Structure 1
Amino acid sequence: MPAAKNHFRELACIWADGGYTGHLTDWTSQHLGVILDIVRRSDDASGFQVLPRRWVVERSFAWLLRSRRLVRDYERRTDTSESVILWSMTTLMSRRLAARRQHRPAPSRAT
């Protein structure tokens, strides 16, 4: 984990499942300077309940896995994987922006 601190200097908060409660929260703040935020279910919930922050992460992974190159991890270097992830998300966002632009009504001209 200390090696991760050198590679991910901008990382400030990590969301984790309820299984990671305990001394790990203190350890990450002391040794890594990162906040470990445990996402918990509410006590009055019954059955399946979508956890808001976890849903964001899982949805993002699902979007990334729509790229053929990211379905399998063929990359040997992490910087190559990072570039492919950035490329995939850039493609996704540009397609969404282009779709929004097509659905906008044309501005009316004052005559």
Structure 2
Amino acid sequence: MQFSLTGGNRNDVTQLMPLIQTIPPVRGRRGRPRRRPDTLYADRGYDHDKYRTQVRHLGITPFIARRGEEHGSGLGVYRWVVEQSIALLHWFRRLRVRWEIRDDIHEAFLRLACAIICFRRLASLGLC
């Protein structure tokens, strides 16, 4: 898995297209592996016609919440998984605020935290 690490005060929407370009092929079915998802779910921070057009041009259907509208878009069902993952990573104080200057050290702590979270989840299910 590849990470795209950017500065702390960067707008997320600037990394949308590079993120989509780095999606690895999905294996498992016969034929050529898929390179892109069918749909993209995003919050209001990605609400811009320029990026909607770019995502559609790649053959991906964007479901991006609109600014100024109520929360009844239904995107919360899918976003909750991401919010929960970020909350789990915030258990680790060192990841809450990035203190490391070097990217590789920060990435190592991030991977270690993910491994600990997975281990704790498996242990709570009695699988470890």
Q: Would the TM-score normalized by the shorter structure come out above 0.5?
A: yes
CA distance in 2, matches of 1:74, 1:34: 38
Q: 1:27 to 1:78 in 2, by over 3 A?
A: farther
Identity between Structure 1 and Structure 2 (%): 27
CA distance in 2, matches of 1:91, 1:79: 18
Using the size of structure 2 for normalisation, the TM-score is: 0.53
Which of 72, 88, 99 pairs up with 1:42?
A: 72
Q: Residue 108 of structure 1 corresponds to which residue in structure 2?
A: none
Q: Residue 23 of structure 1 corresponds to which residue in structure 2?
A: 50
Which of 75, 85, 100 pairs up with 1:60?
A: 85
My pick for the range that moved more, 88-97 or 10-19, is: 10-19
Q: Residue 106 of structure 1 corresponds to which residue in structure 2?
A: none
1:5 aligns with 2:18: yes
Paired residue secondary structure (1:101): coil
1:97 aligns with 2:115: no
TM superposition shift of 1:85: 1.6
Show structure 1 runs of 5+ residues with no match: 44-48, 103-111
* Alignment RMSD (CA, Å): 3.5
Q: 1:39 to 1:79 in 2, by over 3 A?
A: farther
Show structure 2 runs of 5+ residues with no match: 1-13, 25-35
Using the size of structure 1 for normalisation, the TM-score is: 0.60
Number of aligned residue pairs: give it: 94
